[in-house]
Amino acid sequence: MPYQMWINGVYTASSSGNVIEVRNPATEEIIGTAPAGNAIDVARAVTAAQTAFLAWKRMPAGQKAEMLHEVARKLTERTEEIAHLLTLEGGKPLVENRDEMGWSAACFRYYAELGRNSRGRVVPSIEESQLAMVLKEPYGVVGAIVPWNYPILLMAWKVAPALAAGNTVVIKPSEMTPLSTLFFAEIFEHLPPGVVNIISGYGVDCGEPLVLDPRVRVIAFTGSLATGQRIAQLAAPQMKKLHLELGGKDAFIVAEDANLEVAVPAVAWASLLNTGQVCTSTERVYVHESIASEFIDRIVAYARVLRLGPGIESTTDLGPLIGELYRAKVEAQVEEARSQGAHILTGGKRPPHLERGYFYEPTVITNVSHSMPIMREETFGPTIPIMTYRTFDEALALANDSQYGLGANLYTYDPLKAKRFFEEVQAGTLWINDPLTDNDAAPFGGFKFSGGSRELGEEGLEEFRETKHVHWDFEGGAKPWWYPYGK
C-alpha cells in the first residue's frame, strides 16, 4: 500500500515521484511504499512549519494541552492498527508494539500538562523598582529525525515536548520504518496545518537537507553515533541547537547476593528485548565469580527455550533483526569473538527452521574480554556476552570501560553496593533490580558518546526552550553610574 507524506495538513507524494520499498524483516516481502523525499520536499515542509510557528507559539498553553491530550486519545484508540503496522515493518512482537503505543500516548499526556505548568520564573531584581524574569521561549522549527527500533516512542519523546514548548515540527522517520509514522497524519489531523509535518526519505537525501536548512533551529536526533557525528558536523557552522540521543553499550552487574531466580530472566530480557535492538540493551554482563557457573548454566537454558518467529504471532518472544546488514554486523562480532577464543554456549547462528527473515538465535558467550569488538562496539543484536569479576571495584571499572554511557544495571540487595553503583557508574540511567523501566517524569539520555542530551522529564522540555532574561525598570530614571564619569 502506498503511503504519503503530510505537509501543511495535505497528503503529498515526493516531488521526484520516487518511493522507498518497505520490507517485512520477518518475511523479506515488500509491504508498502513511502515517498523518497528530497531537498525540495524538505523545504516545503520547513516553510509550512515556519508559517505555522507564530500562531502556535501564541496559542494559550491550556489549548495546546487539549490538543496534545487529543493526540494521546486518538493514538490510544488506534493502537491496534498502528502496532500491527509497526510489527509488519519493524519486526518487534505485537505485544511490544502495543506497549510502545501506550508509552507514546502517556508521553503526550505528560507533556500536555507539563507544558502549561510554567513559562519560566521571577528572580530577585537588582533594584526595588525593577522586575527580573527568566522566560522560556520556543526555538521555532524543530527537525525530528528518528530511528527504526522505537519509531513511535522516540518520535513522541521529541514531538510532545517540542509542541508543548510552542515549537512546530518536521518529522523524518527511518527509511526502514516510515509507514507507521506516516500513519500519524491521522493522529495529528486536528492540529493547525503546518504545526506538524511528516516527511519520509533516506538519510542523505532527506535527513541532511533538514539539518542544513537554516530555518530549522533545532535538530532532535536519535540514532547511531556515526550519524550523530555527521549531523553535528553539518550543523556546527549554523550554531544549530542539537539534541542527540546516540548509541549505547550497557553493562549489567550481577552481585553475589542476587537472587538468580530473578536475575537470570532479568538479564535475558534486558539483553534480548526487541532482539537486542534497544539503545539500552544490555550488551555486557559482569557476574560475581562465586555465582558465575550457576548463572551461566541457567541463562543458557533460559535462552534455549525462547521462541523465534514473526512478531505478528502471539507465541513469538523474539522477532527478526531489522535487516541483512544489521544481522551481518552481529554475525561478524560473534565470529570475531569466537576466533579470539570466546565460547559460544548457545546460539551463534541463524535458526535453521526460519529460512526467510533476518533471524538470529539468542547467543550466550563466555571467555570474552574487553579487547573484543563484542565488548566494545554496539552490537544491536541478541547477544549475552558474560565476564566474571572478583571485587566490586573491578565490576565498576569494567562497567565504566566504554566510550558509551547510556544506561547500566545492577542486581543486588546490598545498599552499599547500590550506592557505589549509582554514584560511580558514568551513565544516564542507573537501574537497580528492575532493568529498562522508563518513567515519563525522569530524564533519559547518556554520558560520553551516547550524546549528552536528555529526553523526558522537565529536562526533556528544556531541550526545546530558549531562555531569556527580561530586566524591566518601571521608573526608567537616569542611572548615577552612566557617563560622564568623575562628576
Residue 445 in 3-state DSSP? coil
Give the C-alpha distances (Å, rounded to integers) separating 1 from 4, 42, 85, 144: 10, 23, 11, 25
Q: φ and ψ at 22, to 5 degrees? A: -100, 130
Near ligand NAD by CB under 6 A, which window of 112-120, 223-231, 256-264, 476-484?
223-231
Nearest-approach distance from CB 157 to ligand NAD, in angstroms: 8
Specify the residue, 213 or 378, whose C-beta has the smaller distance to ligand NAD.
Answer: 378
Near ligand NAD by CB under 6 A, which window of 33-41, 61-69, 91-99, 204-212?
204-212
Specify the residue, 96 or 378, whose C-beta has the smaller distance to ligand NAD.
Answer: 378
Cell numbers representing residue 43 in the block: 523545504
How many residues sit close enough to ligand NAD to count as binding (CB under 6 A)?
32
Whether 279 sits among the annotated catalytic residues: the reply is yes
Cell numbers representing residue 127 in the block: 533594584
Instruction: Out of 3, 148, 286, 358, name the contact with ligand NAD by CB under 6 A.
Output: 148
Nearest-approach distance from CB 272 to ligand NAD, in angstroms: 16
Helix (H) or strand (E) holding 151: helix 151-164
Specify the residue, 171 or 260, whose C-beta has the smaller distance to ligand NAD.
Answer: 171
Instruction: Give residues with Cβ within 8 angstroms of 257, minimum separation 6.
Output: 412, 413, 414
The answer to whether 378 contacts ligand NAD (rule: CB under 6 A) is: yes
Give the C-alpha distances (Å, rounded to integers) separating 287 from 65, 300, 334, 343: 47, 14, 20, 16
Residues in the chain: 487
Neighbours of 313 (CB within 10 A): 13
The catalytically annotated residue of 245, 361, 377, 463 is 245
Please report how the helices 94-114 and 151-164 are oriented relative to each other, as an axis angle in degrees rounded to 10: 10
CB 216 within 8 A of CB 188: no
* Positive or negative torsion for Cα 216, 221, 223, 229: positive
Nearest-approach distance from CB 377 to ligand NAD, in angstroms: 10
Whether 335 sits among the annotated catalytic residues: the reply is no
Cell numbers representing residue 226 in the block: 556515526
Count CA atoms closer than 13 A to 37's CA, side-chain side: 34
Specify the residue, 213 or 361, whose C-beta has the smaller distance to ligand NAD.
Answer: 213
Instruction: Out of 8, 76, 130, 224, name the contact with ligand NAD by CB under 6 A.
Output: 224
The answer to whether 239 contacts ligand NAD (rule: CB under 6 A) is: no
Instruction: Out of 22, 85, 220, 231, name the contact with ligand NAD by CB under 6 A.
Output: 231
- 250 closest CA partner among 88, 26, 429: 429
Amino acid, single-letter form, for residue 389: Y
Count CA atoms closer than 13 A to 295's CA, side-chain side: 31
CA dihedral 417, 421, 422, 425 (to 10 degrees): 170
Nearest-approach distance from CB 258 to ligand NAD, in angstroms: 26
Residues 172-201 that bind ligand NAD (CB under 6 A): 172, 174-175
CB 396 within 8 A of CB 424: yes
The catalytically annotated residue of 279, 377, 378, 463 is 279
CB 200 within 8 A of CB 37: yes
The answer to whether 204 contacts ligand NAD (rule: CB under 6 A) is: yes
Please report how the helices 79-90 and 94-114 are oriented relative to each other, as an axis angle in degrees rounded to 10: 120
The answer to whether 203 contacts ligand NAD (rule: CB under 6 A) is: yes
Site string for ligand NAD, 397-436 (x = CB under 6 A): ---------x------------------------------
Specify the residue, 230 or 284, whose C-beta has the smaller distance to ligand NAD.
Answer: 230
Instruction: Out of 25, 35, 248, 435, name the contact with ligand NAD by CB under 6 A.
Output: 248
Nearest-approach distance from CB 149 to ligand NAD, in angstroms: 5
Amino acid, single-letter form, for residue 140: G
Near ligand NAD by CB under 6 A, which window of 13-21, 23-31, 167-175, 182-190?
167-175
Instruction: Out of 247, 276, 320, 347, name the contact with ligand NAD by CB under 6 A.
Output: 247
Nearest-approach distance from CB 237 to ligand NAD, in angstroms: 15
Nearest-approach distance from CB 362 to ligand NAD, in angstroms: 19
Under the rule (CB under 6 A), what is the footprint of ligand NAD? 145-150, 154, 172, 174-175, 202-204, 207-208, 211, 222-224, 227, 230-231, 245-248, 279, 378, 380, 406, 446, 450
List residues with catalytic annotation. Answer: 245, 279
